[in-house]
Amino acid sequence: MTGPRVLLAPDKFKGSLPAHEVARALAEGVRRVRPDAVLDSLPVADGGDGTLDAAVASGFERVKVVVDGPTGEPVATSYARRGSTAVVEMADACGLVRLPGGALAPMIASSRGLGQVVAAALDAGCRDLVVGIGGSASTDGGVGMLTALGASVDGDRLDLTGLHPALAEARVVAACDVDNPLTGRDGAAAVYGSQKGADPAQVVVLDERLARWADLVAAATGADRRDEPGAGAAGGVGFGLVAVLGAELRPGIALMLDLLGFADRVAGSRLVVTGEGSLDEQSLRGKAPVGVSSAAARAGAPVVAVCGRNLLTGQQLAAAGVVAAYALTDIEPDVSVCLAEPARLLADLGERIAREHL
């Protein structure tokens, strides 16, 4: 007779441990207490860094490609493929994590590498494109992405006749968790420019650039989409995707859970374990643990969360559908140890979770 079925569906612990290793460590701990448990590992992501790894862990094939990083240097990245579906991660191609030496470059960083990965997937025959745009380094409105796909800018005119021909029959869906417009006080530059290194004067310049770019796109397409919710995502890549490529923007974790087949994997589970590096107010705004708990609730499966640190109250966790949270700092108050030895500590938390919930 088999034991309880447990679905391990964590996000990464950013800067510490990738999601599949979080799941592996938890599994080790659970098995110490319930060696009969049926454990299913499904690492998740919300469209930012870690999206490719989650897709590969769920059965997609990793296809390597070399593209331009955010400041033009060659970057070895990849996309994930299953049949005609390709998963593309902006963060890994030309995001903040790809800036040489971590030096921010707000005025020159480009989304070109993203377009190059999309082009490679189209060349390989993929026609269903899932694009994760979290973690971007640029505020170029998607200019770089689109020029890599064949668009050209000549003075005050945008020419779309050279766009990759396969785009005409491709379906593009992007993971987007913000509703900012492209320009203005709530736009890409004003809200997110400082995070990418722009000072107040540079934010003004970037916003003016985006407004001029939106004018060119409107003239070329016959529609002005700069105020579309999500147009300001990823430094305006959301705008380029929607206004030129006709993409659909969807909440990142919901999109990824559908792609990874979460509904089928959670069926019959006694418990779901999710988590991320920090459980905090941001987690409540559509991040992986809350998305997982919402999806698990529809299947009638209780959810517990693991994290590096927990800044949420029991009431907040309950409202998000999380029965309990287990933090590394609960068992190791020294944060440096938590960062250095997360797998060992996660295994101990897995053991504790098994004792208390299985």
Domain annotation covers residue 53: no
Mean pLDDT of 137-142: 97
74 has a pLDDT exceeding 80: yes
Mean pLDDT of 51-71: 96
158 and 213 both lie in a single domain: yes
Domain boundary, last residue among 210, 226, 253: 253
11 and 87 both lie in a single domain: no
Work out the mean pLDDT of the chain and round it to a whole number: 95
CATH number of the structural domain spanning residue 28? 3.40.50.10350
153 SS3 class: strand
What's the pLDDT score for residue 286? 77
Q: What is the pTM of this model?
A: 0.91
30 and 172 both lie in a single domain: no
Structure tokens at 30: 């659970």
What's the pLDDT score for residue 249? 96
Residue in 77, 239, 285, 40 with CA at minimum distance from that of residue 144: 239
1 pLDDT tier (thresholds 50, 70, 90): low
Mean pLDDT of 85-114: 96
What count of residues does the chain have?
A: 358
Q: Which tens digits make up the pLDDT trace of 319-353?
A: 999 999 999 999 999 999 999 999 999 999 999 99
Domain annotation covers residue 54: no
Alpha helices, H only, 261-341: 262-266, 288-298, 314-319, 328-331, 335-340
CATH number of the structural domain spanning residue 216? 3.90.1510.10
For residue 122, the surrounding DSSP H or E stretch is: helix 112-123
13 SS3 class: strand
Do the Cβ atoms of 18 and 55 come closer than 8 Å? no
Structure tokens at 42: 């499904």
160 and 307 both lie in a single domain: no
Straight-line distance from the first to the last Cα atom of the chain, in angstroms, rounded to the nearest whole number: 15
CA-to-CA distance for 348 and 341, rounded, in angstroms?
Answer: 11
What's the pLDDT score for residue 207? 98
Burial class (CB within 10 angstroms; exposed 0-12, middle 13-18, buried 19+) of 154: exposed
What's the pLDDT score for residue 282? 84
What's the pLDDT score for residue 283? 86
Q: Which residues in 136-235 belong to E strands, given as ranges?
A: 152-154, 157-159, 171-175
222 and 285 both lie in a single domain: no
CA-to-CA distance for 231 and 275, rounded, in angstroms?
Answer: 29
Do the Cβ atoms of 270 and 4 come closer than 8 Å? yes
What's the number of domains the chain is made of? Answer: 2
Domain boundary, last residue among 253, 287, 308: 253
47 has a pLDDT exceeding 80: yes
Q: What are phi and psi of 161, to 5 degrees?
A: -65, -20
Mean pLDDT of 146-167: 95
Q: Which tens digits make up the pLDDT trace of 297-309?
A: 999 999 999 999 9
Domain boundary, last residue among 189, 224, 253: 253
DSSP structure string for 29-68? HHHHH-TT-EEEE-----SSTTHHHHHHHTTPEEEEEEEE
Domain annotation covers residue 262: no
Domain containing 18: what range? 5-44+269-357
Going by C-beta distance under 8 Å and a sequence separation of 6 or more, which residues neighbour residue 166? 122, 123, 127
- Chain centroid offset of residue 1 CA: 39
Mean pLDDT of 29-54: 94
Nearest 5°: CA angle at 262, between 179 and 288?
A: 40
Domain annotation covers residue 263: no
91 and 236 both lie in a single domain: yes
Beta-bridge mates of residue 62: 80
Q: Could you tell me what percent of the chain has a pLDDT over 70? A: 100
Q: Which tens digits make up the pLDDT trace of 273-287?
A: 999 999 988 888 878
